[in-house]
Structure 1
Amino acid sequence: MSSKPARPGPRVFYGWFVVLAAFTVTLLGFGSAYTFSAFFEPLQREFSASRGATSLVFSFAGFLYFGAGIVSGPLADRIGSRPLAVVGMVLLGSGLVLAGAARSLTEVCLAYGLGVGLGIGLSYVPVVGAVQRWFDRRRGFASGIAVSGIGVGTLVMPPLASWLIGHLGWRMSYMLIGGLAGVIGAGVSLLVVNDPRERGLMPDGGPPGSPLRRAQPEGASIRDAVLSRRFIALYAACLLCSFGVFVPFAHLVPYALDHGIPPSSAVWILGAIGIGSTAGRFFLGGVADRLGRQASLLAMFVGMALAMGIWALSTQAWQLVVFALVYGLFYGGWVALLPAVVMDGFGGRNVGGIIGVLYTSVAFGTLAGPSAAGLAFDLTRSYMLPIAVSAVAGMAGACLIAVACRSDIFGSRRSSRGPDG
């Protein structure tokens, strides 16, 4: 008596492998970048540098990894995300290794800035753009998981770097982190597939022609998108907000050290941003799918600005942990929602290129914000001025988003699945 062969179980939708690859790339890329706060004091001591000069290393890298999206985004739309992600991860690892061998702060700035900056710049926008194409109904949730790698990286990598520095020194630590990030990142990038149609699928896993799935929209050209009022409002809001967004990543550890908090505890405070950020990316993206992604994005702008007020009043470790958790929550939601809002507004045909242009606003803010904060500290011996400016700039960005939502600038594209398309 022969038994019937067991039916194979349902295959996992390949879009989740793309999400996994994006998660790992963002974890290694941004996690490596945000170890800079752990290296801040050793670099400053090694090269007898001011905080303004030292923080310029981070600002230069940040400018490149967001600014490079204007090139990598359109390239990904044309040639695919996978090769760019692989090259980006190799560049990132090489830059960290070369930073460990640097003989001056200028060489650190060039190696770290060009390697980490271009490495993330070539990989981040392409992999995040690819995720947007694989999902429709659950786009906010999938995007949130993909970029939650940044939060996990912020939680794990700075404490790891601090431990390595204590045992191996800052030079060998940079080399070890660079080698691991380059090899693992390049390997996992091979999982990235640019579009579900390359696998004979539709967004969310439906087969071609499925009545439950609509075809991937063609979407706007980059020129039409960039010249639209919707994009201009979003760009201006991100530009204002980003002046302060990355100040904590460069200066929270030095701030904690100034208030007598031990270095090991100070690095874990930075890691608390990663905890909050991971929660924001995992949960707020899914909530935004139900409540409306544009309105949720506005809440992220307001939340980050208000969190700066907590930082201004914090002098003890537990207070800084509260700030880091709250700030991380809204920062994580902000990062998760931006690509989804772009996809909602402009479609999938050029989503990588449009996200890349949008992120140049963040690049300019990142170039100015952390380095200006360091210069302000050198002049005033206090972080109160940069914290206050960061809060005001964030609220100004929130006001722009509020006006845009009120005038329905963001409301022209809608779908059948929810309130905001």
Structure 2
Amino acid sequence: MTNKFEIVKPKKVPFFYGYVVLFFGTIGIWASIPGQTVGVSVFTDYVKDALGLTRNEFSNAYMIGTFLSSFIVAKAGFWFDKFGARYVAFFATIVLGFSLLLCSISVEISEFVKSFLNNTSWLIPFCVITILFFFIRLSGQGILTMASRNMVMMWFDKHRGKVNSLSSIAISLGFSSSPIFISKLIDNNGWELSWQLMAISLFIFSLFILIFYKNKPEDYNLNPDGEEVKSVKENKPTVTTNFTLKEAKKTRAFWVYGLILSFNSFFITGFTFHVISIFKSFSYTKTQAISIFLPISIIAVSVATLCNVLSDYIQHKIYLYIMLFCGCIASLGLLFLNYEIGVYLLIIGLGVLGGLFSVVNAVTWPKYYGRKYLGSITGKIMSFLVLASAIAPTLFSYSFTYFGSYSYVSILLLTFVVGLIIASLKVENPQNNAVK
């Protein structure tokens, strides 16, 4: 899917163009922050008050918008396979930018609709922000993240793990520091102008996407990792079988890996959303609750760096078993959070889970199912993750509201991960059984 009018031609760059892809693909994932929970949460108090919504109403709007977006994200994977990373990421960035602009005037939109309908019901701002959440979650958390990550993975094979380690470190640092910068931006400019400034930045970055995003090395007579294609006979792909989404869904690995990644998405989203309340219910202070994220982040970055590099050399299934084991540890930590040992179990479990998430979610799919249909496969997996992140805050909340404790959701989590452990016993790399 090359274009003769391209400004930058990969073969004319004095070094392997994959590293340019790595740089801009990582920035592309940073650009998705306004559509991620970490980017939206900073605006919560300002926007809900301006719209006249309660915290529960605002949270439910976020849940519904995220839930609905999960059904479209899977389709975006097919768009990636058909049109490539450049155009999918470009349009996702444009949609995210316009959505932020509309978010910045959501109060005015709500007031206009109220006036037009001659109705002052809270349902009007609720519906407005729900629709806007749908678009920013779809374009930011879903499509832009998926397209940028997949593009990087398309350009590397033997060194995929090492490259992903560099990207993971940068992404972790960017995501962990973004609330500080966004909060400062809001303090200096107000929440409306802050969203508008972020939208303008996205429009500018969309031009860089058109210039520097390249779909795959084969389009430019290059091989992954930088080897030139000398002849058709010499162009021997590392992966001999490319699975379609339909074929991938018939394998046990697709579901087990997809569900453990969804487990992580569910746990970290629900836990983060209610962290202060969770710790308060066990007689901890707000400061103690917030302080847990620093050691979790340190462990996650360390694990991601080490395991990304090692993924080029060791059996990938080992990471699956470690994630399952740490899922049990994290669930037990939440269950016994009233004891000091529970805090340590939670830190270790979530830290290792978070670190391995970035490895497994990036490396597994091209390694197990090939690169030809990578978009449709990862798009489906992304829909699992988005759906899990949508329902998590509500289930955590119901556990506390109806049963008086968050311990009950930990029992649910523990039961789920034990079931995955049993299912994982016969997981194999589909390439091992593929027809050569």
| TM-score bracket for the superposition, by shorter chain length | 0.7 to 0.9
1:18 maps to which of 3, 21, 33: 21
Between the aligned partners of 1:43 and 1:122, the Cα distance in structure 2 is 24
Shift in CA distance, 389/244, structure 1 to aligned 2, threshold 3 Å:
farther
Shift in CA distance, 309/233, structure 1 to aligned 2, threshold 3 Å:
closer
Alignment pair present for 1:333 and 2:337: no
> Which one is further off, 125-134 or 166-175?
166-175
Unaligned runs of 5+ in 1: 1-9, 415-421
**Structure 1 partner of 2:82:** 78
The structural deviation recorded for 1:413 is: 6.0
For residue 161 of structure 2, give the secondary structure of its aligned residue in structure 1: helix
> Which one is further off, 187-196 or 340-349?
187-196
CA contact (8 A) 1:89 1:182 kept: yes
Between the aligned partners of 1:316 and 1:36, the Cα distance in structure 2 is 32
CA contact (8 A) 2:264 2:357 kept: no
1:93 maps to which of 88, 93, 97: 97
Between the aligned partners of 1:248 and 1:182, the Cα distance in structure 2 is 33
Cα deviations by residue, 1:271-323 (Å, 9 ceiling, x for unpaired): 76555444443332112222222221331233244234445555899x97995
The structural deviation recorded for 1:204 is: 1.0
Cα deviations by residue, 1:239-260 (Å, 9 ceiling, x for unpaired): 5554324213433356568854
Alignment pair present for 1:222 and 2:225: no
CA contact (8 A) 1:94 1:179 kept: no
Cα deviations by residue, 1:13-69 (Å, 9 ceiling, x for unpaired): 211221222211112214651123333444455556555433334434544665443
CA contact (8 A) 2:93 2:203 kept: yes
Opposite residue 21 of structure 2, the aligned amino acid is: V
The structural deviation recorded for 1:353 is: 1.1
Cα deviations by residue, 1:93-143 (Å, 9 ceiling, x for unpaired): 322332232233432222133123234422222222222221121222323
Between the aligned partners of 1:361 and 1:369, the Cα distance in structure 2 is 12
CA contact (8 A) 1:239 1:365 kept: yes
Alignment pair present for 1:282 and 2:308: no
Between the aligned partners of 1:346 and 1:92, the Cα distance in structure 2 is 30
Alignment pair present for 1:28 and 2:31: yes
Which one has the largest radius of gyration? Answer: 2
Opposite residue 207 of structure 1, the aligned amino acid is: E
Between the aligned partners of 2:294 and 2:368, the Cα distance in structure 1 is 33
**Structure 2 partner of 1:261:** 286
**Structure 2 partner of 1:348:** 371
**Structure 2 partner of 1:4:** none
Shift in CA distance, 236/321, structure 1 to aligned 2, threshold 3 Å:
closer
Shift in CA distance, 326/225, structure 1 to aligned 2, threshold 3 Å:
closer
Counting only pairs closer than 5 Å after superposition, residues 180-199 of structure 1 correspond to structure 2 as 180-184=201-205, 187-188=208-209, 190-199=211-220
The structural deviation recorded for 1:82 is: 0.4
Shift in CA distance, 322/65, structure 1 to aligned 2, threshold 3 Å:
farther
Between the aligned partners of 2:209 and 2:352, the Cα distance in structure 1 is 27
Between the aligned partners of 1:36 and 1:283, the Cα distance in structure 2 is 30
The structural deviation recorded for 1:202 is: 0.7
For residue 207 of structure 1, give the secondary structure of its aligned residue in structure 2: coil
Alignment pair present for 1:122 and 2:122: no
Between the aligned partners of 2:347 and 2:66, the Cα distance in structure 1 is 20
Opposite residue 355 of structure 1, the aligned amino acid is: T
Shift in CA distance, 249/261, structure 1 to aligned 2, threshold 3 Å:
closer
Identity rate of aligned residues, in percent?
17
TM-score (norm 2): 0.77
Alignment pair present for 1:412 and 2:435: no
TM-score (norm 1): 0.79
Opposite residue 407 of structure 2, the aligned amino acid is: M
Shift in CA distance, 37/185, structure 1 to aligned 2, threshold 3 Å:
same
For residue 291 of structure 1, give the secondary structure of its aligned residue in structure 2: coil
> Which one is further off, 365-374 or 342-351?
365-374
Alignment pair present for 1:291 and 2:289: no
Between the aligned partners of 2:343 and 2:100, the Cα distance in structure 1 is 29
Between the aligned partners of 1:271 and 1:90, the Cα distance in structure 2 is 33
CA contact (8 A) 1:252 1:270 kept: no
The CA RMSD measured in Å over matched residues stands at 3.7
For residue 372 of structure 2, give the secondary structure of its aligned residue in structure 1: coil
For residue 181 of structure 2, give the secondary structure of its aligned residue in structure 1: helix
Count residues in correspondence: 400
Between the aligned partners of 1:298 and 1:273, the Cα distance in structure 2 is 20
